[in-house]
Structure 1
């Protein structure tokens, strides 16, 4: 009878021993798997964080270059408009000086220029031409001074 129970006892002990051995081996494998998973996850998080920083730097640099371009365009438009204003001021001054000598002449057939010609010819004896030239020049000078004051009162930043 001992012979009958002996293989069962030894078989049970061996089964238990191998079962516990494989359970320990399996728990070690699971522990190593968890450790590798955490290690790889940390590595991936580190790589993702690194590339996010690189992306943010590139994004910031490109935005900075974009804003420099916007500023350059705004400055160009400002100087272009300022140049147009100065040119129109000088053209107006030149036209005003050129128009100081007015010779009434016949127009292209409408009644206003003929009527103005008659008015100027009838006012010749009063000799108002010098006064008109002086008043025209004073009016032009006040316009220039007002334009310069307006340009100098414009402040950067909307003050």
Structure 2
């Protein structure tokens, strides 16, 4: 009988502890679910708050990035314009140099001294012709006409070149 009483007492205690453990387990699980939901809600709140902050920062830095990109493109275009200007000035310098070389060649041709050596070369023939015209003293007139021909020829070439590139229209 005492064994029966202890058996019922221990059975009651075991059932009580199992139910209490189940309640504690369920309560602990509910507490953990509650804390998990709280942390989840807090994480979502912080995520939304920080996402707005990150969006503002990204927008701000995108504006700065685009501004820097525009400034670098401006510097690039200034460099391209400087290179083009240098090429134009180089071509103008070449044109002026060609004008000077042509002018000096013309003046060199004006002061041509024919050779009167014997032979049948071009220089000898021109020397004979020039020496026979010395009587008329046409040297000055010939020099002026030679310069005028050269000058009108140069202007004609410039006019033709200007009409080809569309600058004369």
Identify whether the pair has TM-score above 0.5, normalized to the shorter chain. Answer: yes
How many residue pairs get aligned? The number is 156
Aligned residue number for residue 85 of structure 1 = 95
Query: What root-mean-square deviation, in Å, do the aligned CA atoms of Structure 1 and Structure 2 show?
Result: 3.9
For structure 1, the 5+ residue unaligned runs are: none
Q: Which has the larger radius of gyration?
A: 2
CA distance in 2, matches of 1:152, 1:90: 19
Match of 1:60 among 45, 70, 84: 70
Q: TM-score, normalised by structure 1?
A: 0.66
Helix, strand or coil at the partner of 1:99: helix
Rate the CA distance shift 1:114–1:83 in 2: closer, same or farther, 3 A: same
- In 1, distance between residues paired with 2:56 and 2:160? 59
Quote the residue 2:5 is aligned against. none
| Residue correspondence of structure 1 range 1-159 to structure 2 within 5 A | 3-4=12-13, 5-93=15-103, 95-97=105-107, 99-105=109-115, 111-121=121-131, 133=143, 136-150=146-160, 152-153=162-163, 154-155=165-166
Runs of 5+ in structure 2 lacking a partner? Answer: 1-7
| Superposition TM-score, scaled by structure 2 size | 0.63
Distance 1:155 1:57 in 2: 39
Higher relative contact order (CA 8 A, sep 6+): 1
